[in-house]
Amino acid sequence: MNDFRIPIGEWGEAFVEFITEFFSPVFDVIRAVFGGFYEGVDWVLVTPPFWVIIVLITALGFWARGWLFAVGTAVGLFVIVGVDQWETAMDTLALVLVSALIAIALSIPLGILGARSRTASNIMKPILDFMQTLPAFVYLIPALILFRIGIVPGIVATIIFSMAPGVRLTELGIRGVDKEVVEAGYAFGASPRRILRQIQLPLAAPTIMAGVNQVIMLSLSMVVIAGMVGAGGLGGVIVQALSRIDFGLGLEAGLAVVILAILLDRLTASLGVRRKRRARPSQTSADSVSTDPGSTDSESVDTMPSVGAPAFQGSTHRG
């Protein structure tokens, strides 16, 4: 037997003990904020009668994808009601929404940073690889130590687990914007901040929305794992069915998870398609202006930023 052993586990335990001892107030604040955020969203979803929420989600489905998807949405939600999993499904939806919103709020700025700084991108890539490949169950151990049992460890583990695709696809989308369009913005005197806000983000929106879709799907995939640390919802029901070897209960909870996954996936995917359709005519109009030999400098300034942002005003410089 080899006596040589790298004490990585001991180093990890020492690190967790250190941050627990010296940063305990910080984690208490995070626990209070995340817990309050979740309770607020959960109250909004659980308090009204189930048919009110079904009507609202069905209307959203009709607006996003048409009447056929709206009918399927209503049928799926009534199935959840029929198997008596409505309240737990709304608890799960609240957990997914809170985790996904926080993950998106963190991942998009990090993706922008990675797109604008090669050094930051090189630093983040191995960290994102580590986050995506580390087994999800491992996240629960430090989360339980730092935040104690309940909904908050599940939220924290879900955020860490789901952030990576949001960062990667945001960076990819911004780097994929046509360089000629960006250079045209600089030629008209736009600042880097305006280039980002008025050109790069609108054109990269479909790719960014694909990242948002992946963040939401990964958040939902953590439902069962979050249930193991006391997060409740459908994950708690599945864990309960597993402990009892109750196939019927597990099937009902699993069906509710599938219905929520389909709804969230189709809704977020449709938002990305809408952004892509809006961007295409804008790019066409910008190209037609830039290739029109009869257009003047002032016309180019007024119409060039039609990629989804207001024109650059006061940025022309006539010789």
Q: Which one is predicted more confidently, 118 or 317?
A: 118
Query: Computed over its alpha carbons, how large is the radius of gyration of the chain?
Result: 24
Amino acid, single-letter form, for residue 141: I
Residue pLDDT, tens place only, 20-72: 888 888 888 888 899 899 999 999 999 999 999 999 999 998 988 888 989 99
Pair 68, 266: CB distance under 8 Å? no
Closest among 90, 60, 108, 105 to 268, alpha carbons compared: 60
Pair 215, 104: CB distance under 8 Å? yes
Residue pLDDT, tens place only, 137-175: 787 777 778 887 888 888 888 888 889 999 999 999 999
- Tokens encoding 6: 């790298």
pLDDT for the residue 88: 92
Residues 6+ apart with CB under 8 A from 43: none
CA 175 from centroid of its chain's CA atoms: 19
**Residue-averaged pLDDT of the chain:** 81
Domains of the chain (ranges; CATH) run: 24-49+85-285+297-303 (1.10.3720.10)
What share of the chain in percent tops pLDDT 90? 30
Sign, CA dihedral 215-217-219-221, equals: negative
Over 50: is that where the pLDDT of 309 sits?
no
Pair 227, 151: CB distance under 8 Å? no
Residue pLDDT, tens place only, 264-281: 888 888 776 655 555 554
Over 90: is that where the pLDDT of 90 sits?
yes
Over 50: is that where the pLDDT of 125 sits?
yes
Q: Which one is predicted more confidently, 153 or 229?
A: 153
Q: What is the largest CA-CA distance in the chain?
A: 82
Return the half-sphere exposure (C-beta side, CA atoms, 13 A cut-off) of residue 117: 12
- Tokens encoding 263: 């709804």
Over 70: is that where the pLDDT of 294 sits?
no
Helices 233-244 + 247-291 axis angle, to 10: 150
Amino acid, single-letter form, for residue 20: T
Residue pLDDT, tens place only, 240-273: 888 888 888 889 998 999 999 899 888 888 776 6
- Tokens encoding 283: 């790019």
Strand, coil or helix: what is 176?
coil
